[in-house]
Amino acid sequence: MEKLRMTSPDLTDANIDKLAELFPSVVTETLDAEGNPRRAIDFDLLRQEISDHVVEGPQERYQLDWPGKRAAAFAANAPITKTLRPVREESVDFDTTKNLFIEGDNLDALKLLQESYLGKVKVIYIDPPYNTGNDFVYEDDFAESTQEYLARSGQVDDAGVKLVANTESNGRFHSDWLSMMYPRLKLARNLLTDDGVIFASIDDHEYDNLKKLLDLVFGAANHLNTFVWASNLKGRQISSSGAAGTKEYVLCYARHAEEAGAFRVSGSQMKALMPSIYKGFNYAVQNDEHGPYVLKNELYNTNSAFNEETRPNLVFDIYYNEDSGEVRTSPVSVNHTYDGFIKISPKQNNNGVNRYHAFRWSARKVETESYDLAFVESSSGWKVYTKVRDVDSTSLKDLLMDISTNEGAADVERIGIDPSWFDYPKPVSLIRTLIGAASSRDSIVLDFFAGSGTTAHSVMQQNAFDGGTRSFILVQLDEGVGPGNTAQKAGFAAISELSRERIRRAGSAVLESVGLAVGTLDVGFRSLRVDSTNMADVLRSPGETDQLALHQLEGSVKADRSGEDLLFQVLLDWGLELTMPIVVERIDGHEVFVVEEGVLIACFDSEVSPELVRTIAKREPLRAVFRDSGFSSDDARINAEQVFREVSPATDVKAI
């Protein structure tokens, strides 16, 4: 029996709970006066979370630590002056799709997505670099200067992409990898819904570190599962000693474990991922007037000890009429055989004592839901089974077998792509099963290590399977494919180009497979590119300018940027989703962008007429934006504001 607290509430614990919700990484353990461990706040890390510079001040505590950790935390919070530019020519169904493909560093992309997709992503799947000593990892340049990095690694590609071969000889082999992953996971967590989850594939090289890192970012209590995937049953010798490796892992964490819910998949999907000796799906589907069903369990409860005194509602006899199908739980006659009723008692143990003498259902449920009971006569007497109506749904298991890593290569080969273009692409069926189990039919799925594009392929296949409208956001660094790669010989320069080509072909294959049942199946994507801000740097000291150069500083927008470029930066600044439908109209000779029927109307022409301002105001959009330099004077800008106050006072009007 719990005791009353008899004290005022412990506000310290309440405050720790609040901080844990905002910043899970700052919760740690310390010792109290008696030497017992208790929860505490790492104030050094908390200061870092709310600081705009690197904070020093280490203190002994239980934590995952490595050289560069503070700088990595700072990198997650530091603002950037970048934007996302649309690339229509690389897109598919640009005007109608709800999917995104972003080319560029995923740290930048995750920062740019923070407002538009905060708390909106249901499932994240990532397959990060496995840090085997040959993989390339992202070099974020927050722990050392560019010169130091180049001196250490001695390499940078022609395009200036920051890549470093992270070899075993590097003294910071694990630290570099952790510093790369930490800020990305922190930013990714912000994007998850309250019931959202992240799946992260990893092998033995960094399993321990990734597990601890996810504990740090999401909180150890939000660890849901560690899936073991038997990816290569032939085995691969990892080192000169020990056994051959046959498995990889998929770590799964929730934003809030109590809200994530159970993972359910179809029996056919789960059967494909379980060993052939597993008998859990060897059942026959039957039908009655209430629909299909399967018999999976006997009604007898053999898990606990019962008797009439402890659980009288579960200790009774069932009376069943084989001819009429009627079921009762009270005697129908003295000899229990009146009018064809048969008495069926719960199982008893060998000594006849009423241990296990109970049913799993109450007497009332047996009578009211008797249509979901099946009575089967056997040599040992009558047995009662429950009918399970959800005939093609089962819980996802954390052991995934009977699917080889080689199937990933087969997936791309089936859509006409040379498997050698990619290094060990993940199988579609693996990721599709995870997505199907953890997402709703209208969820957003994010993968910020897109690689071969398997996640997009999986989302489209799952939508075709269950009629869903899931959308995907993929991010891939414009990393070179490497000299001698067959993809380079085929004309592809970067992995991001390969990813887009795979998604295009996968979309066409999915459409072909569903035929006339296409419906609203979305196999397109808007291609965006991380780039520098659209705004020109016009800040100069008086000594840096002369009278002749002043006219070059009047415009605040870079000369090579289009109106659509500016529109997407406005969408980001306003926190609007980047897949909203966009219609381009010509109004009074001006190019006008109308986003989702008036959620936003924008004109970025170099000259904005009063007539255009009034026309847009009459449409009463929620938001309106103009180019600041498009107004001929301060008076013209003030007049435009006045027009909106009179005609559409609810419109939020801004200028760039």
Least confident of 5-9, 76-80, 461-465: 5-9
Q: What is the DSSP string of 283-311?
A: ---EEETTEEEEEEEESB--SS---TTT-
> Taking phi first (over 0 means left), then psi (-120 to 50 degrees means alpha), and beta for anything else, what does residue 574 get?
alpha
With H, G, I as helix, E, B as strand and everything else as coil, classify residue 420: helix
Q: What is the pLDDT of residue 157?
A: 45
pLDDT band, residue 132 (cuts 50/70/90): low
Rg, Å, the chain Cα set? 31
Compute how many other C-beta atoms are within 10 angstroms of the C-beta atom of residue 54. Answer: 15
Q: What is the DSSP string of 106-122?
A: HHHHHHHTTTTTTTTEE
Cα distance between the two ends of the chain: 64
Round to whole Å and give the CA distance between 615 and 609: 10
17 with 27: CB under 8 angstroms? no
pLDDT tens digits for range 326-346: 998 887 665 555 667 888 887
Percent of the chain's residues with pLDDT above 70: 80
Domains and CATH numbers, the chain: 11-63 (no CATH), 80-276+395-530 (3.40.50.150), 286-388 (no CATH), 556-655 (no CATH)
Round to whole Å and give the CA distance between 169 and 617: 64
Tell me how many degrees the CA angle 334-337-341 measures, rounded to the nearest 5.
120
Least confident of 116-130, 305-319, 357-371: 305-319
The pTM of the full predicted model, rounded to 2 decimals, is 0.77
The DSSP bridge partners found for residue 344 are 318
**Average confidence (pLDDT) over 513-540:** 82
Least confident of 57-61, 181-185, 374-378: 57-61
Compute how many other C-beta atoms are within 10 angstroms of the C-beta atom of residue 547. Answer: 6
pLDDT band, residue 516 (cuts 50/70/90): low
For residue 3, pLDDT beyond 60 = no
Whole-number average pLDDT of the chain? 82
pLDDT band, residue 109 (cuts 50/70/90): very high
**Average confidence (pLDDT) over 418-430:** 90
pLDDT tens digits for range 460-479: 999 998 899 999 999 999 98
- 91 to 44, 116, 131, 460, 504: CA distances (angstroms): 45, 20, 32, 16, 9
With H, G, I as helix, E, B as strand and everything else as coil, classify residue 76: helix
